[in-house]
Amino acid sequence: MRVHTLKRAIVALALALPGAAIASVVAAPAAHADGCYTWDRNLYQGRSGSDVRELQLRVAGWAGNNNIVELDGRYGPKTAAAVRRFQSAYGIRADGIAGPQTFAKLYQIQDNDCTPRHFSWSELDNGCGGSGWTGGPLTSAQTRQKALRTMWKLEALRKSLGDQPLNVTSGFRSRTCNSQVGGASDSQHLYGNAADLTSRSRSLCQVAREARNHGFSGIIGPGVAGHNNHVHVDSRRENNQDRSANNTYWAAPDCGIPAGYR
């Protein structure tokens, strides 16, 4: 951990230096000094690349009401707005520019396996006690990537709910698992794209209403049959593997969220 901390400090210094100084300092640290991912340049509107996509993945949960952040590697207005919301939530100057302070906070809440601090791979692969990310429509690698995006959205939702724990009662499901639990044949759980949530400190309606601001295009909660004891959230709008579910659908009538497409 000390090595990672030293490398992070070097990268942060490099990002703060102008011109030629950056080239001489940035060359020193390893490409993944953080243990998961380390940024070596400031990011802002107009920039593009894999480093932008890595940032988008981590701020996808700060998309704003009924919006999403596409993981397209292009730093546009939606990404800038999401960065500002992230910065504001964590007490950073909200200028929409991802620099040393923003990256330092991401490193702080990011584990070395790339998951956010409060969620884990095993927690999201728990539809029927763990399937090893196999048995769904996608490859295990594709499924894990969608589950990782789900976790970062959940981290943002958790933060906005006062940093109070959220419990994932069902995450990825294999086809066999989905059939066993009576899931829909086109369930977003099959893609690693969904999570069913409960909370001991927040009501289900608080969870459902707040989820509207955190990039979830699927929200189903109290007032819908089978969803009175949990809130289902998913990213169906971003799931290119399932065009029939490529719209935003929210339904939690008991929480003041009427059923329908948005």
Question: For residue 97, is it within any domain?
Answer: yes
163 and 230: one domain?
Answer: yes
In the structure, what pLDDT confidence band is assigned to residue 35 with cuts at 50, 70 and 90? confident
Asked if residue 146 and residue 218 are part of one domain, the reply reads yes
Q: Do the domain assignments include residue 116?
A: no
One domain for residues 134 and 182:
yes
Helix (H, G, I), strand (E, B) or coil at 229: coil
Say whether 76 sits in a helix, a strand or coil: coil
CATH of the domain at 42: 1.10.101.10
Do both 128 and 73 map to the same domain?
A: no
pLDDT over threshold 80, residue 10: no
Q: Flag whether 114 is in a domain.
A: no
The CATH number of the domain holding residue 154 is 3.30.1380.10
pLDDT for the residue 30: 35
Q: Which of 58, 73, 108 is the last residue of a domain?
A: 108
Check whether residue 7 and residue 82 sit in a common domain.
yes
Q: What percent of the chain lies above the pLDDT cut of 90?
A: 80
Same domain for 129 and 37, yes or no, is no
pLDDT band at 24 (very low <50, low <70, confident <90, very high): very low
Give the domain extent around 47: 2-108
Residue 86 included in any domain: yes
Q: What local confidence, expressed as pLDDT, does residue 217 receive?
A: 96
The count of structural domains within the chain is: 2
Contacts of 63 (CB under 8 A, 6+ apart): 69, 78, 81, 82, 213, 214, 215
| Interval 44-81: pLDDT, tens | 999 999 999 999 999 999 999 999 999 999 999 999 99
The answer on 181 and 101 residing in a single domain is no
Residue 26's pLDDT band (boundaries 50, 70, 90)? very low
> Which positions are annotated as active-site residues?
227
Residue 241, in any domain of the structure: yes
Return d(Cα 173, Cα 191) in angstroms, integer. 8
Q: Where are the alpha helices (DSSP H) in 46-190?
A: 50-59, 77-89, 100-108, 121-124, 140-160, 175-180
Residue 223 and residue 172 share a domain? yes
> Which residue in this structure is represented by tokens 């289902």?
232
pLDDT over 70, % of the chain: 85
Residue 62 lies in a domain: yes
Domain end point (choices 108, 136, 152): 108
Q: Is residue 142 part of a domain?
A: yes
Give the confidence band of 246 by pLDDT, cuts at 50, 70, 90.
Answer: low
Per-residue pLDDT band at 127 (split at 50, 70, 90): confident
Q: Is the pLDDT of residue 16 over 70?
A: no
* Cα 124 from Cα 171, distance rounded (Å): 5
Tens-place pLDDT, residues 187-200: 999 999 999 999 99
Tens digit of each residue's pLDDT (9 = 90 or more) over 214-235: 999 999 999 999 999 999 999 9
Question: What's the whole-number average pLDDT of the chain?
Answer: 88
Q: What's the rounded Cα separation, in Å, for the pair 197 and 154?
A: 10
